[in-house]
Structure 1
Amino acid sequence: MGVWEYEDFAAAREEGKLRHVCVTGSWGLLSSWLVRSLLAKGYNVRSTVHTTAEEAKELMALPGAKERLELTQADLMDYGSLAEVFMGCYGVFHTASPSDLVSNYPPEMIDWEVRGTLNVVEACANAAVKRLVLTSSLSAMVWDHQRTPGACIDEKCWSNLDFCRSKKLWGPLAKTMTEKAAWALARDKELDMVVINPAIVLGPKLLTSRASIMNYLQGMKELPQSGLFAYLHVEDLAQIHISALEITKASGRYICYERVVSEFELVELIRKLYPERSVPSRFSKSGSPHVLTNQKLQTLGIKVQQV
């Protein structure tokens, strides 16, 4: 896979040399913060995120948006429209990711997500994009009943597809299949791609709404592994995506989380944040946190804040 050599980004921003980056995907917590963070750092941004008129107005009200934000249209199922939008961009962020990867994921969306992401990879390669930053998920790593208890989950780990199918874990299945397909095509096309594998993302969606732990837990039948509940703040995740574009030595996959809590800690957190709600019985037991590591992310000098 090719190595991207580019002039220092800080100097480029000072000299006004930065060209366009593109943010694709669906309107959501990450995409909204990523657009805001990119504008704040001086980037010229194209966004193909589908928004309502109210959401578009909200985006265009961000500092720098009138001068450096272009809202455009591209269909993930239409390779040609993607290639056209990516032309002239040296960086693309593909953030299409369901907010709830465990419950309520329609199985018929799996093929759409895989094919859409492959179109993005193909279009990036043919449009001479220098680096694609793809948002995957920690759920593409943790669901494996064959893993030795207590074994550390790192960037070499993958969720077991057969296990996901047997448990009807369509979200993790989609993320695992999508990421594996994207890696295969990126290597074939010699496209420089970095993949971000975040845990549960918390934080405000710009000014209008707030991601909720309870939203994630609604309908969730079980935790991925014994006691596994990891999270991070969306502002950190947006900055991690930008660093994955800017830092030349970034490569491969990156697990992103702030901390892992046990089921007991999770119950106490729910009671503290939502005292008026009852705790789901499936989380009312004590458990030991599974072992995760974000050591690879730390080698880039990236630290995440306390949520």
Structure 2
Amino acid sequence: MGVWESLRIEVPAKEVASTGGRKHVCVTGNWSLLGSWLVRNLLEKGYNVRCTFRTTVDEAAALMALPGAEQRLELTQADLLDYGSLVEAFMGCDGVFHTSSPSDVISNYSPEMADFEVRGTLNIVEACANSSVKRLVLTSSLAAMVWDQQRHAEKVIDEKCWSNLELCRSKKLWGPLTKTMTEKAAWSLARDKELDMVVINPAIVLGPRVFGTTQNIFTYLKGVTELPQSGLFAYAHVEDVAEAHVRALEATEATGRYICYETVVSEEKLVELIRKLYPDSKIPSRFSKNGVPHVLSNEKIKKLGMVFPAQQKLH
């Protein structure tokens, strides 16, 4: 049993009663842990959802089996590099969620991903600015904030922090590099176009998929080659990250960036957790067991009403 199965009890989704003035939203991206949970959350809240996921026939059928999907979920095709297809997908939508690059697998990025993600995200921003969209909620990553050798460990990492691009290039950290470049480019264009954009910067996203396997700590660690300085390892439950996105759309006062995480784990604690969850697994030698975690702040996102129930359960 993975860590999240031991912390959360799955509750069947309940259909939301029909209400007038229901909003239309679009969720862009691929078949990711976060994206599928976001679609589920929106349907539960009564939204009409247009989804541009690139899915298999089986995955599409699974999405359409969600409560409310038959009446309020539309699956369509859109290419991030095709501006016209994005404008068409956003037609009539009040809000857009761009979750194209799953923040839970940033360790698997290649050097070529940066150009693709930057261009695709800029197309999203441009299409939103030239359509009915009132707010864009963009998924970035905590990785766009924490990689900076000039930052002292005792300094609190908050929404003003950015990862250092040269450091990311020198260490070949293509995931953090891509996330940082993409978010900075998106902010620049959004301000130029006067588009209302809010960014969620989640930590590592873990939890059960809406359909299929669970993304747990060890699944993620199999792809990690290096931790940020001082052993920073923070994570959040996918259900909470999806809820944070919806609140970022709904809250009129939402603005700027929002760090979303539940718990920060030191390398020593991480090794203990791996041994507890996976006693037969070999501990990766890259973990020195003496890292001191950075101090992160998620106070801003709590002002949107977010609470993290699992935060006390791993201590």
Q: TM-score, with normalisation over the residues of structure 2?
A: 0.91
1:157 match: 161
SS in 2 for 1:285: coil
Give the AA of the match of 1:163: L
1:190 match: 194
SS in 2 for 1:283: coil
- Measured in 1, the distance between the counterparts of 2:19 and 2:284 equals 54
- Measured in 2, the distance between the counterparts of 1:102 and 1:225 equals 17
Moved more, 146-155 or 163-172: 146-155
Mapping of residues 1-307 of structure 1, within 5 Å: 15-306=19-310
CA contact (8 A) 2:148 2:167 kept: yes
Moved more, 101-110 or 78-87: 101-110
CA contact (8 A) 1:105 1:171 kept: yes
1:7 match: none
SS in 2 for 1:302: coil
How far did 1:101 drift? 4.9
CA contact (8 A) 2:27 2:50 kept: yes
How far did 1:152 drift? 0.8
How far did 1:99 drift? 4.7
CA contact (8 A) 2:104 2:206 kept: no
CA contact (8 A) 1:236 1:305 kept: no
Give CA deviations for 1:124-179 in whole Å, capped at 9, x if unaligned.
00013100000000000000011123111000000000000000000000000000
Give the AA of the match of 2:143: S
CA contact (8 A) 2:209 2:215 kept: yes
- Measured in 2, the distance between the counterparts of 1:62 and 1:297 equals 28
CA contact (8 A) 2:103 2:141 kept: no
Give aligned pairs, total. Answer: 295
Structure 1: any 5+ residue segments left out of the alignment? Answer: 1-12
Moved more, 42-51 or 101-110: 101-110
SS in 1 for 2:286: helix
How far did 1:292 drift? 0.5
How far did 1:305 drift? 2.3
- Measured in 2, the distance between the counterparts of 1:220 and 1:232 equals 17
Give CA deviations for 1:205-263 in whole Å, capped at 9, x if unaligned.
11311102122212422211202110110000111100000000000000000010111
SS in 2 for 1:15: coil
- Measured in 2, the distance between the counterparts of 1:220 and 1:158 equals 21
How far did 1:26 drift? 1.0
- Measured in 2, the distance between the counterparts of 1:99 and 1:146 equals 24
CA contact (8 A) 1:102 1:169 kept: no
SS in 1 for 2:205: strand
CA RMSD, Structure 1 to Structure 2 (Å): 1.3
Give the AA of the match of 1:143: W
Runs of 4+ in 1 over 4 A off after TM superposition: 99-102
SS in 2 for 1:70: strand
Q: TM-score, with normalisation over the residues of structure 1?
A: 0.93
Structure 2: any 5+ residue segments left out of the alignment? Answer: 1-16
SS in 2 for 1:288: coil
| Identity over aligned pairs, percent | 71
Give CA deviations for 1:53-107 in whole Å, capped at 9, x if unaligned.
1111110000000000000000000000000110110000000124555533111
CA contact (8 A) 1:153 1:292 kept: yes
Give the AA of the match of 2:111: P
How far did 1:285 drift? 1.5
Give CA deviations for 1:11-60 in whole Å, capped at 9, x if unaligned.
xx863211310000111100000000000000000000111111111100
